[in-house]
Amino acid sequence: MQRRAFIHSAGAALGAAAVTPASALSLTSASHSVKPADWGGLRKLFPLTYQYIHLATFLLASHPRPVSEAIDRHRQAFDNNPADYWHENFLTIDGKITQAAANYMGGKAHQIALTDSTTMGLGLIYSGLALRPEDEVLQTEHDHYSTDLSLELRAKRTGAKVRRIALYDDPALASTEQILSRLKKGITPKTKVVAVTWVHSSTGVKIPIKMMSKVIADINATRDTADHIIFCVDGVHGFGIEDVDVSTLGCDFFIAGTHKWIFGPRGTGVIWGSDKGWNNCNAIIPSFSRSYDVWLGNSTQDQVPIGEHMSPGGFHSFEYRWALPEAFALHLQLGKANVESRIHQLNTQTKQGLAKMSHVTLKTPMDPNLSSGMVCFDVKGMHPENVVKHMHKKGIIMSNTPYRKTYARFAPSLINNELEIEKALSEIAQLA
C-alpha cells in the first residue's frame, strides 16, 4: 500500500529495529486470571484505595490489572515505534476487538461499532438515522441528557418531532404491565423511532426491553417496511451486569460505554446494530480501518464490515481502545451468570436494608426483574447532595442522581462485599 511504501522507504535504515514484536499486541493475557465467582481475587486486581468504600464505580471504572497492563504494553509499543505499530495493526485490530466484544455481548462481530463512550454512540446513531420531516421519535422522560440533546439536535436538522412519555410515575411502584401499556399507548402511526434507556440512572428502574421489543414487533407487522419502527436502547447500566445476549433483546441498536460496569479502558464504548438497524443509519464520521482502504482503491465497500464502517475514524487513544478485549475476557472468566447473581445479591441486600428504615424512602423497585445495579432513595429531611457529603466524611463514596429530580444513590458492584454494604447501611441508619 502507498502509505506502507512511504514509511518503509523513509525508515529502511532502521532495519529490524523498526519491527514491533508481535507479543506487544496480545489482546488477552493469561496472567492475573481469576476463577469463576472469585470476588475476593477480583478485588485484588484493582488499585482502588481501601480508605473508602466505593459505591459509585459505575461512573468511571478503575482499571483492573489485566486492562492496565494491556494499556501499558500498547503504549510502550507506540512510544517505541508509533508509525510501524499503527500501520501493522490498524487494518485488522478493530475486527479482533469487535470479535472479543461479540464473544461477550452476543451478536456478530461485523455488527459492532467501536466508540469512545455511550454519549458518542448515542450521538452517532441518532444523528445517522434516516428520518423524514413527518416522522416522530418517541423517547421517555427517564432518559439521560445525552439522549435528550442528541434527539433534539437531530429533530432540528430533519424537521422530525420528538415526543416524551413517562413509563411510570412512582419508580418504586413501576410494573412490567404499566411500562408495556404506556409504551403501546405512546406509539402513533407517525412513530419511526423509539428511544429508551435499559436501566434508568435517575431511579434505578430496569425496563423490560425484550417485552417492549415484542410490542414494537407486533406494531411493525401491521406496517409497510419503510414505516417500521427502529428500536434504540441506551444499555450502559445493564451492560456488564445482566446475563443476556444483546442480539436476542429484539432492539435494533444497543449502545453502551465499556468504562463502567465492564471495567474497560476509559474512553471506550460499543454499538451493536441489527441488520435492519444499520440499513436505516448513515455514517457520520469517516471511518479508518478497512474503509480507508476503499478510499485508496485497495478494496471495495462490500468488503468492509458495517460496524467498522460506522466506527468513527481519526486517531483515538489507541492504547486504551486496543486493551478493551482484556475487560471482556475478565468478565467471561468470572462468568456472566455469576456476575449477574452477585450484583443483584448485593443490591437486594442494600434495598432490603434501606426498606427497614422509617426515615428512608426507597425509590428503586425491590423486584430484580425491574432493577439492576443501582439503588436510589431519599433520606427524610436531607437533600441528596448533603447525604453524599455526609457519607463521604464517613469514608463511603456514593452519588446522587444528576437529574431535575435527584435522589441519593448506591451502586453496589463486583468490587464490594457484604460487610461494606452493612457499613454503608449503618451510616444511613444513623441519619434518623
**pLDDT tens, 391-405?**
999 999 999 999 989
Residue with cell 523513509: 10
- DSSP annotation of 398 reads -
CB 4 within 8 A of CB 87: yes
Q: Encode pLDDT of 63-92 as tens digits.
A: 999 999 999 999 999 999 999 999 999 889
The domains found in the chain, sorted by start residue, are: 95-332 (3.40.640.10), 336-429 (3.90.1150.10)
* 317-340: burial string, b at 16+ Cβ within 10 Å, e else: bbbbbbbbbbbbbbbebbbbebbb
Nearest to 256 by CA among 105, 148, 111: 105
Q: Which band of pLDDT confidence, cut at 50, 70 and 90, is reported for residue 290?
A: confident
Cα distances (Å, whole numbers) of residue 319 to 39, 256, 394: 27, 20, 37
Q: Residue 123: pLDDT above 70?
A: yes
| Residue 139, beta-bridge partner list | 164, 195
| pLDDT tens digit sequence for 324-340 | 999 999 999 999 999 99
Mean pLDDT for the chain overall: 92
pLDDT above 50 (res 115): yes
> What is the pLDDT at residue 26?
57
The whole-angstrom separation of Cα 145 and Cα 127 is 15
Q: Of 399, 346, 394, 344, whose CA–CA distance to 372 is shortest? A: 344
pLDDT at 31: 58
Enter the C-alpha cell of residue 171. Answer: 419508580
- Distance between CA 229 and CA 213 in Å, rounded? 10
Helices (H) and strands (E) in the chain, counts: 17, 13
For 332-379, the pLDDT digits (tens) are 999 999 999 999 999 999 999 999 999 999 999 999 999 999 999 999
Q: How far apart are CA 366 and CA 378, in angstroms?
A: 15
* Burial class for 211, CB neighbours closer than 10 Å (0-12, 13-18, 19+): middle
Which of the four pLDDT bands, split at 50, 70 and 90, describes residue 109? Answer: very high
Banded pLDDT at 19 (limits 50, 70, 90): very low
Can you tell me the distance from the alpha carbon of 205 to that of 376, in angstroms, rounded to the nearest whole number? 9
Residue 9's pLDDT band (cuts 50, 70, 90): very low
Q: Are 39 and 100 in contact (CB under 8 A)?
A: no
CA 269, CA 385: separation in Å to the nearest integer? 29
